[in-house]
Amino acid sequence: MKLCIAYPNRNSYSETFIHNHLSYLKPEITLTGGWRPYITKEGENIISIPAGELIRIGIKRVFSGLYPPFYTYFLTKYLQKEQPDVLLAEYGITGLGVMEACKKTNTRLVVHFHGFDASHRPTIEKYKKDYRSLFEIADKIIVVSKDMAAQLMGMGAPAAKIINNPYGVETEKFYGANPQQAEKIVLSVGRFTGKKAPHLTLQAFDKVLEKHPDARLVMIGGGELFESSKALVETLGMKHAVEFAGIKSPEEVAEWHRKARIFVQHSITNPENGDSEGTPNTILEASAAGLPIISTRHAGIKEAVDHEITGFLVEEGDYLKMADYMCLLLDDSALAQKMGEQASIKMKIEYEIRHRINKLNEILLCGTG
């Protein structure tokens, strides 16, 4: 199989799932550089004319309506030359960008939705007509949760084309948590953004401190709500108990797993725009390490966490119940240990990266002859 992966963001630290696809699938061809990817693996521009990049930028900025057919023309030429068996478009919007060229060249198109592209109301409103065309042109549509499958079917995607294949986790990299022996460290990892609701995690932890004044919350990540979260900590008088560790490498995150007793994440559907998660890699990684999870009944989390077995789930917004579960596991380190062990077993059986990549590879191979 000659595979092409088209993906928008070359340098996004949070898109572990795309980095895993590139690393494990080893595509012969890659295209990146925005929703209409145009930069090859070798760093070359597929717009193969003199001053191609200047012309591309000029058309995109000044004659934006002409840019889609302009891009499609050059992508069509590129696909005719390279002749990939299948193109995997990361995100539905990338799929929109490449679909006409795939149609013109009879290139099999598989579109992988990841989260906001299936839930963010302004995005869906902007692209809903184009999505219907995408659903017709795409051979397969990959989602990462049952909720996401339902969202796309509600937009008109044929159920027969949709395949639920959650992200995987590199279990050999995330291991060694020992909640029973750990200090009272509550760990949270993820972007400080609306759908991860860091303010609700902080409000829950504020309640925890009433019963466990010696507990600590460590929050890893960055994002648009980082400063407001720090301000909330000041307001609640929790500076002594909350550490903002910033953006960390996967190896550094794994080290924090081995220090913590609990992993928490209060994911919600953003009330302002409908944006929601897919299946958060951070929860998979913490589970693989052996931490009990306290999170919400949201998107793929409901499938990744077994309530009362590998952790606890609360309704979105219920930070008081989240606080109760944190206190329970801080009180009962043996229960935290048992749940963490079950979480690790679940990841090895259901979410091991090689199993999930093998399934993805089977989807990509199907129909390539």
List residues bridging with 3 in a β-sheet: 86
Residue 120 above 50 pLDDT?
A: yes
Instruction: Determine the topology of domain 3-168+353-365 in CATH.
Output: Rossmann fold (3.40.50)
Q: How confident is the model at residue 369 (pLDDT cuts 50, 70, 90)?
A: very low
Amino acid at 220: I
CA distance linking residue 300 with residue 52, whole number of Å: 42
pLDDT digits (tens, 9 = 90+) for 200-233: 999 999 999 999 999 999 999 999 999 999 999 9
237 pLDDT exceeds 50?
yes
Handedness of CA 45, 58, 5, 19 (dihedral sign): positive
Mean pLDDT lowest among 52-66, 73-87, 306-320, 345-359: 52-66
Is it the case that residue 367 has pLDDT exceeding 70?
no
Q: Please tell me the CATH code under which domain 185-351 is placed.
A: 3.40.50.2000
Put simply, whether the predicted model's pTM sits higher than 0.85 gets the answer yes
261 Cβ contact list (under 8 Å, min separation 6):
179, 182, 183, 184, 185, 186, 291, 329, 330, 333, 336
User: In this predicted structure, what is the pLDDT of residue 143?
Assistant: 97
∠ CA 339-340-343, rounded to 5°: 90
> What per-residue confidence (pLDDT) applies to 55?
80
Cα–Cα distance list, 275 to 60, 104, 198, 355, 361 (Å): 27, 33, 15, 28, 28
- What residues does each domain of the chain span? 3-168+353-365, 185-351
Identical fold for domains 3-168+353-365 and 185-351, yes or no, is yes
Residue 12, exposed/middle/buried by CB under 10 A (0-12, 13-18, 19+)? exposed
